[in-house]
Structure 1
Amino acid sequence: MPSRKPDKLDLLVFGAHPDDAEIGMGGTIAKHAAAGFAVGICDLTLAEMSSNGDPDLRQREAAAASEALGLAYRSNLALPDRGLRGGDEQIERIVREIRALRPRFVFAPYWKDRHPDHVACSALIEEAVFNAKLRRWKPETPAWTVEKLYFYYINDVEPPAVAVDVTETYEAKTAALRAYRSQFEPTGSDAVATPLTQGYLRKVEQRDALLGNALGVRYAEGFAAKSPQLVSLF
């Protein structure tokens, strides 16, 4: 897994758990990485509360997914799973990551989702992006202003403000998602049935295909923003 911090990232994607970013925007990540953009993922938790798998396995799966996507960097802040409560300590950890990586664009889960951790992650990142630009907030690290914050969909979907054609990199997204076998195809007598094991990857593909069909392409990924945007590449 690429863990050495680059001097600067073009795109920095935050997720509550390993696999969130891949579900929501794996094709977009792979597309930008293939085009020469420096793309990183920061997972907030080790997903230690997952019904299947364990943190060590999830990290190995994340490393395989990172390779499939062509990431320049990946980190995990090891904040408590089901404990993303905000507060200065958690916000500061995220702000330090943003200031160290100096991304042009930041991505977070959409602010509406059936999983409380995705909603909490969304709020944390929005606040951290705001604080990161304040030169008098934790001034021991230089302030950094993110150009734009976008939100990707994991479970709940609404009409996007921005969409990216990911047809050419959908195979990379599929490979990254399949790396998380413990979540989507668990094996063994201790495997637990969850919404992720009930044909979830097929539903993700159908979602991306449906949006693509509406836009005249095979696959597309959608994003929300606080204001309308027009982009070709982020």
Structure 2
Amino acid sequence: MSERLDFLIFGAHPDDAEIGMAGTIAKHTAAGYRVGICDLTRAEMSSNGDVETRRLEAEQAGRILGLAHRSNLALPDRGLYMSKEAVDAITEQIRRLRPRIVFAPYWQDRHPDHVACSHLVQEAVFNAKLRRYLPGSEPVTVEQTFFYFINDVIDPDLMVDVTAVYPAKTAALRAYVSQFTPAAGDNGYVATPLNQEYVERVEARDRLLGQKRLVPYAEGFVSKLPFLIDLF
């Protein structure tokens, strides 16, 4: 069994986790945390690139961010629905990697796969702790689940100052050449929201979040549970 992860981030597609929280990932791997990403699909429905290209891009982004683990469940792109097969696959990942903290996309987003991923992960986190669920693997209780933003952003419950590592986030996003290269001339790419200055929009979003606490760049997260402290 592999050494347990501190963080396990789920995304519907390769690049989802990087869009939402690559800075937070880079900051924690630099501090010695073991961080992994599990992509649910191979993004085979993407308008640009192909499965092999996306795999290589994800590997490169993972190297930039210092990931301890990256996996892909090969569930169907644009076919993520609440099913036992999907929940069980995610549950097994949680039990195998034993993360302290799980991250999933925020449950409201313009992309239906991001919404589906959020709900599937929540189901799996709950099931992972039940000793009679999938009795062939050991139960795992996740300490906390946080939700990160991809396209649509609301007011976060907490923010991480990612100013010092922001170049790593930009580099990780730029590793997805097939997704963020503008369609121009005969380069073979078709126009999508991702290649219409999307990386620049993510940067603007992170700068705007940082402004709330007067730091240059921040990434935001939501928790469904209140934070417990002893003293302020």
Whether TM-score is above 0.5 comes out as: yes
| Alpha carbons 1:16, 1:117 under 8 Å: kept | yes
- The question of whether the paired residues in 2 share the 8 Å contact of 1:44 and 1:76 is answered with yes
- Rounded to whole Å, the distance in 1 between the matches of 2:173 and 2:61 is 7
Correspondence 1:58-77 to 2 at 5 A: 58-77=54-73
**CA distance in structure 2 between the aligned counterparts of 1:184 and 1:69, rounded to whole angstroms:** 18
**Correspondent of 2:118 among 122, 138, 142:** 122
Q: Which residue of 2 aligns with 1:179?
A: 175
Q: Is the 8 A contact 1:161 1:229 kept in 2?
A: no
Q: Which amino acid aligns with 2:151?
A: N
Identity of paired residues, percent? 64
User: Which shifted more, 90-99 or 179-188?
Assistant: 179-188
Q: Which amino acid aligns with 1:140?
A: G
Match of 2:225 among 215, 223, 227: 227
> Is residue 166 of structure 1 aligned with residue 162 of structure 2?
yes
Secondary structure at 2:86 match in 1:
helix
| Structure 2 letter corresponding to 1:209 | R
Q: Which residue pairs with 1:96 in the alignment?
A: 92
Q: Note the aligned Cα RMSD (angstroms).
A: 1.3
1:190 is displaced (CA, Å) by 2.9
**Which of these residues, 186, 209, 212, is aligned with residue 210 of structure 2?**
212
Change (3 A) 1:101 1:9: same
| In 2, Cα distance between equivalents of 1:230 and 1:79 | 36
| Counterpart-to-counterpart distance in 2, 1:14 and 1:186 | 27
Partner Cα separation in structure 1 for residue 156 and residue 228 of structure 2: 12
> Quick one: distance in 2 between partners of 1:228 and 1:217?
24
Deviations 1:98-145, CA, capped at 9 Å, x for gaps: 000000000000000000000000000000000000000011000000
C-alpha contact 2:182 2:196 (8 A) present in aligned 1: no
Question: In the alignment, residue 210 of structure 2 is paired with which amino acid?
Answer: G
Deviation of the 1:191 alpha carbon: 1.1
Question: What does 1:74-93 correspond to in 2, within 5 Å?
Answer: 74-93=70-89
Query: Are the equivalent residues in 2 in contact too, given 1:6–1:73 (CA < 8 A)?
Result: no
SS for the counterpart of 1:215 is: coil
How many residues in Structure 1 have an aligned counterpart in Structure 2? 227
Distance, in Å, in 2 between the alignment partners of 1:86 and 1:207 is 31
Q: TM-score under structure 1 normalisation?
A: 0.94
- 1:78-116 C-alpha deviation (Å, 9 max, x unpaired): 000001112111111110000000000000000000000
Task: Confirm or deny: 8 A CA contact 2:14 2:39 kept in the other structure.
Answer: yes
CA distance in 1, matches of 2:101, 2:61: 21
Contact 1:105/1:149, CA 8 A, preserved across alignment: yes
